[in-house]
A and B are shown apart, each in its own frame.
Chain A
Amino acid sequence: MARKIRVLIAKPGLDGHDRGAKVVARALRDAGMEVIYTGLHQSPEMIVQTAMQEDVDAIGLSSLSGAHDVLFPRVMELVHKNKMKVLVTAGGIIPEEDVPTLKKCGIAAVFGPGTPIEDIVKFHKERLKAKH
């Protein structure tokens, strides 16, 4: 039997807004995935290290402080450097015009405020189907 999809929900930087991250974590877990939540105040290095240790299939990055433009690309740099095969998505307060830059560095999707949770669940299931 295929193992469950494993997802790391991560809060990079100093941002303490964890409502969205926790709701997404709960929803993915209720959808049958294994979810690891990093807790707050993680550096990009800490996030990538946890992702490797936990052997996750996906990382969800959440930031509402505006630090996404610096911290998310840093996470992606480390993901590429470590040749990780991992689906990375993002959520939070992210202006539309920042989305192309984030996608260019390898973030698969950006889920803004108001995204139905079901869409996030479906996205992970579809994109990770081949592996499971």
Chain B
Amino acid sequence: MALSLKKKGRGNPSRATRRNATRTKKAAATEIVETADRKAGYKNQSWMDTDTVYLPNAEFAYDDKLGLPGEYPFTRGIHSNMYLGRLWTMRQFAGFGSASETNERFKYLLSHGETGLSVAFDYPTLYGYDTDDPHSEGEYGKCGVAVSSMEDMTALFNGIPLDRVSTSMTINGPASIIWAMYLGAAESRGFHKSMLRGTIQNDVLKEYIAQKSFIFPPAPSMRLVIDTFEYGMRNVPRWNTISISGYHIREAGSTAVQELAFTLADGFEYVRQGMERGMDPNLFVPQLSFFFNAHNDFFEEIAKYRAARRIWAREMKETFGLTNERALKLRFHTQTAGCTLTAEQPENNIVRVTMQAMAAVLGGTQSLHTNSLDEALALPTEKAVRTALRTQQVIAYESGIPNVVDPLGGSYYLEWLTDEMEERAYRIFDEIALYGGVIGAIEKGYFQKAITESAYRYQKDVDRRERIIVGVNEFTTDEPLDIPILRLDPKGRDKQIARLRKLRRTRDRAKYDAALDRLRKTAEGESNTMPAILDAVKANATLGEVTGVLREVFGEYREQRII
């Protein structure tokens, strides 16, 4: 029996609808009447055609495609009991001004029920510059906290029980240096490396692709990353040595499918390079984690997370030959999409964030950041951050969503969409292979061009009002903005510089010289850089000084300009 459609005022059923109708063997007689003012053939955020309704597919191979939650290929989640065992970690990305100001924000968040920490560093720190470097002009403490030394890192976590709270740090170019500062600061307070839990983002490939806070060229950058894998595997076993990130790729304008494919392709590249170092992937891959975006299209996002788990498990097992089940499980953090926040009618952002957070939870995330309503305007205020955290708590404790494992599994639409995203991701993997892999594709600007194209196409859709953004191109008001803005301590930068100069004056010069000398020799050679970096930061070498040595040895990366 065929699917019959009746439409008011519009032509034939879309091609996609007819395709689905012929594909569907067991179709019930369904009559759908479309209202005249909505366009047929809705396109999701990846410009995929979707059908009007989805029906059972008798050919669907449940065991192969889904399996039980907690079982290969982990489409339905990595735990058999999912959130019944433990809720996701509520981890709000935070950081501004000085280490002590951010420390207060951390304590505020923990006191309101946050369960993990996540550090935002300022731009100078992300590029490995000290606060008093000329490059840091105008950027101190603005996009995050300024951390120029192990002393700053110690102040950042003052009074926080590092054996009980896990810490995620969004740091990439100088990730190994910042990690060393954290390990050193923790050690000085008596916390042994083996008990520390947390994540360094450390995903330099996506810096070249999208986020753009790169420092060194790809080859030495990858060496530093693999050094952390090796060091973490041996010394900090409970730490995620990388968070392979699609978040920034998506924020830069990619589609959901591109986010999925580019991120997993980066993941494969890290595994390959780790194996080239001679490490056993069954041992280092379990410490690799992921980070995805949660954008507006609810089901598309959920399908993306499910497809990601399935592809990763399959590729790790079948292509890379891994046998350790922990290495097959894709674990990920999610952040709601900053780029969907509107400056207009900012209160509406609470609603967007709620939907996005629900998608992340229904998609089986391990950890979640919810954006604050005021982030299209400035850094979030305490109150805005609290509302964002409360959003997670309402989902966790009031919605009932976490009480059943993978409640959307088996949805006709969702399973179709998951398959479709997987298929499209594989097509992108093939394209990347034509460039000789991820690094070749970066050097030839493949990713950058693809993302720029998608971003522009999206903006044109919005400008033509083919995509409606509530409060922006429809349902607008003229009322003036009335929300408070967070302001930084105007003397903060001067105080930070004074602390830094005092540190440079008072440190043990001989120890410092010896440590930097050892670091330079190590960088020029081939052995693991982590121990020498750790020595340097413990000798109170600053971030800028340590990165400076590495800049001299490795050189700097300049990207080609693509518009």
Give A residues with C-beta under 8 Å from B: 9, 13-19, 22-23, 25-27, 29, 35, 37-40, 43, 65-67, 69-71, 74, 93, 95-97, 112-114, 116-118
Complex CA distance for A78 and B319, rounded to whole angstroms: 57
Our pick among A9, A19, A112, A116 for the contact of B463 (Cβ within 8 Å) is: A116
B-side contacts of A70, CB under 8 Å: 137-138
Contact A117 B485 (CB under 8 A): no
Contact B459 A65 (CB under 8 A): no
Complex CA distance for A71 and B139, rounded to whole angstroms: 9
Contact A114 B456 (CB under 8 A): no
B-side contacts of A18, CB under 8 Å: 212, 252
Complex CA distance for A118 and B136, rounded to whole angstroms: 34
Contact A114 B485 (CB under 8 A): no
Q: A22-B562, A43-B137 are in contact. List 15 more A-B contacts (CB 8 A).
A: A15-B143, A16-B211, A16-B213, A17-B212, A17-B251, A19-B251, A22-B456, A23-B253, A38-B561, A40-B212, A66-B139, A69-B138, A95-B378, A95-B485, A96-B377
Contact B142 A26 (CB under 8 A): no
- B221 CB to nearest chain A CB (Å): 15
Interface-lining segment among B121-129, B229-237, B300-308, B533-541: B121-129
Per-residue CB contact flags for chain B residues 105-145 toward chain A (1 = under 8 Å, else 0) read 00000000000000000011011010000011111001100
Contact B563 A96 (CB under 8 A): no
Nearest 7 pairs between A and B by C-beta? A16-B212, A70-B138, A66-B142, A67-B138, A14-B123, A39-B561, A114-B472
Our pick among B137, B343, B379 for the contact of A112 (Cβ within 8 Å) is: B343
A-side contacts of B212, CB under 8 Å: 16-18, 40
Contact A19 B455 (CB under 8 A): yes
Complex CA distance for A29 and B452, rounded to whole angstroms: 14
- B148 CB to nearest chain A CB (Å): 14
* Cβ-Cβ contact count across A and B, 8 Å cutoff: 102
Give B residues with C-beta under 8 Å from A: 123-124, 126-127, 129, 135-139, 142-143, 211-213, 251-253, 339, 341-344, 376-379, 452, 455-456, 459-460, 462-463, 469, 472-473, 481, 485, 559, 561-563
Contact A23 B142 (CB under 8 A): no
Contact A37 B561 (CB under 8 A): yes
Complex CA distance for A74 and B139, rounded to whole angstroms: 14
A-side contacts of B378, CB under 8 Å: 66, 93, 95
Residue of B251, B342, B344, B463 with highest tally of chain A CB at under 10 A: B463
Contact B343 A114 (CB under 8 A): yes
A-side contacts of B472, CB under 8 Å: 114
Contact B377 A93 (CB under 8 A): yes
Complex CA distance for A19 and B456, rounded to whole angstroms: 9
A-side contacts of B343, CB under 8 Å: 112-114
Our pick among B460, B463, B485 for the contact of A97 (Cβ within 8 Å) is: B485
A-side contacts of B460, CB under 8 Å: 117
- B39 CB to nearest chain A CB (Å): 20
Residue on A nearest B465 in the bound complex, by CB: A116
A-B contact pairs, 12 of them (CB 8 A): A14-B124, A14-B135, A15-B143, A16-B211, A17-B252, A22-B563, A26-B563, A35-B563, A40-B559, A66-B378, A93-B376, A93-B377
B-side contacts of A16, CB under 8 Å: 211-213
Contact A26 B127 (CB under 8 A): no
Contact B561 A19 (CB under 8 A): no
Residue on A nearest B135 in the bound complex, by CB: A14
Complex CA distance for A65 and B129, rounded to whole angstroms: 16
Our pick among B124, B213, B252 for the contact of A19 (Cβ within 8 Å) is: B252
B-side contacts of A69, CB under 8 Å: 138
Our pick among B123, B252, B481 for the contact of A13 (Cβ within 8 Å) is: B123
Contact B455 A22 (CB under 8 A): yes
Complex CA distance for A13 and B485, rounded to whole angstroms: 22
- A31 CB to nearest chain B CB (Å): 12
Complex CA distance for A45 and B9, rounded to whole angstroms: 59
Contact B213 A13 (CB under 8 A): no
Contact B142 A67 (CB under 8 A): yes
B-side contacts of A25, CB under 8 Å: 563
Residue on A nearest B452 in the bound complex, by CB: A22
Contact A116 B473 (CB under 8 A): yes
Complex CA distance for A114 and B379, rounded to whole angstroms: 18
Contact B139 A67 (CB under 8 A): yes
Contact B481 A96 (CB under 8 A): yes
Contact B123 A114 (CB under 8 A): no
B-side contacts of A14, CB under 8 Å: 123-124, 126-127, 129, 135-136, 139, 213
Our pick among A23, A37, A71, A97 for the contact of B137 (Cβ within 8 Å) is: A71
Contact A13 B137 (CB under 8 A): yes
Complex CA distance for A54 and B559, rounded to whole angstroms: 21
Complex CA distance for A116 and B469, rounded to whole angstroms: 12
Complex CA distance for A93 and B379, rounded to whole angstroms: 10
Contact A113 B559 (CB under 8 A): no
Complex CA distance for A71 and B253, rounded to whole angstroms: 26
Our pick among A29, A65, A118 for the contact of B123 (Cβ within 8 Å) is: A65
A-side contacts of B455, CB under 8 Å: 19, 22-23
- B463 CB to nearest chain A CB (Å): 5
Complex CA distance for A22 and B562, rounded to whole angstroms: 8
Complex CA distance for A37 and B562, rounded to whole angstroms: 8
- B350 CB to nearest chain A CB (Å): 17
Complex CA distance for A16 and B126, rounded to whole angstroms: 10
Residue on A nearest B253 in the bound complex, by CB: A19
- B132 CB to nearest chain A CB (Å): 14
- A116 CB to nearest chain B CB (Å): 5
- B471 CB to nearest chain A CB (Å): 8
Contact (A26, B456) CB under 8 Å given A39-B561, A118-B463: yes
Residue on B nearest A116 in the bound complex, by CB: B463
Residue on B nearest A65 in the bound complex, by CB: B143
Contact B463 A65 (CB under 8 A): no
Our pick among A23, A29, A43, A112 for the contact of B459 (Cβ within 8 Å) is: A23
- B158 CB to nearest chain A CB (Å): 25
Contact B379 A66 (CB under 8 A): yes
A-side contacts of B213, CB under 8 Å: 14, 16
Complex CA distance for A93 and B371, rounded to whole angstroms: 15
Residue of A9, A16, A118 with highest tally of chain B CB at under 10 A: A16
